[in-house]
Amino acid sequence: MKAQRTSLIAACVVSAVVSGFSRTAVVVSGFSRTAVVVSGFSRTIDDQITRTVWDGVYTASQAERGRASYLQSCVSCHRDDLRGDNTAPSLVGESFTFLWGDMSVGELSARIQKVMPPDRPGGLTPQTYVDIIAFILQKNAFPAGDVELGIDPEALQQIRITTRP
């Protein structure tokens, strides 16, 4: 019985490595847990997160500010269309949802602040980073809302990035 369980678990583990991100999903007996490892940081996504990016978590004006900041600090690597190049991952579409789906906006924010821009990681204000995230969410067709995305890390942890509402 133990051998069957072990092989079931081994058969249900899916891994991928893209642009330095390692992601593993494990599904056992209908329960799904996602563990994500990003540069030595590991976190398990729990069912505690109650909001998603489909809940209008940023405003259109915030995304516009984010666009301006993106053009100053990000476009040289991630390109005008946010599709990236050989050294920078795409920030839109399936590539984005593969890397960040089922993770929190807080994890995305922490990662961006830690490593971007590459010539001066952490060199932007917390508000600028969050505005850029609002722009990225807009470009991924997540709806805008009436309240801006805030800079509080705990609040950002409560917003999950999902592919569907």
**CA distances, 114 to each of 8, 16, 29, 118 (Å):** 37, 22, 36, 9
**CA distances, 64 to each of 53, 67, 98 (Å):** 17, 5, 25
**Domain assignment of residue 97, yes or no:** yes
pLDDT in tens, 131-151: 999 999 999 999 999 999 999
pLDDT in tens, 45-94: 444 568 999 999 999 999 999 999 999 999 999 999 999 998 999 999 99
Q: Is the pTM of this model over 0.85?
A: no
**Domain assignment of residue 4, yes or no:** no
Q: Give φ, ψ of 74 to 5 degrees.
A: -125, -30
**Domain assignment of residue 34, yes or no:** no
The reported pLDDT for the residue numbered 165 is 87
**Domain assignment of residue 36, yes or no:** no
**Domain assignment of residue 33, yes or no:** no
**Domain assignment of residue 2, yes or no:** no
**Rounded to 5°, angle at Cα 82 from 76 and 83:** 100
CATH of the domain at 83: 1.10.760.10
CA 13 to chain centre: 21
Q: Contact 15/22 with Cβ under 8 angstroms?
A: yes
The reported pLDDT for the residue numbered 50 is 84
Q: Tell me the three state secondary structure of residue 26.
A: strand
**Domain assignment of residue 148, yes or no:** yes
Q: How far apart are CA 114 and CA 13, in angstroms?
A: 28
Q: Dihedral angle at the C-alpha atoms of 41, 120, 68, 91, nearest 10 degrees?
A: -40
Residue 114 has pLDDT above 60, yes or no: yes
Structural domain including 124 reads: 49-160
Residue with tokens 């995304």: 63
Domain count for the chain:
1
**Domain assignment of residue 81, yes or no:** yes
Q: Of 61, 78, 63, 56, whose CA–CA distance to 131 is shortest?
A: 63
The reported pLDDT for the residue numbered 28 is 33
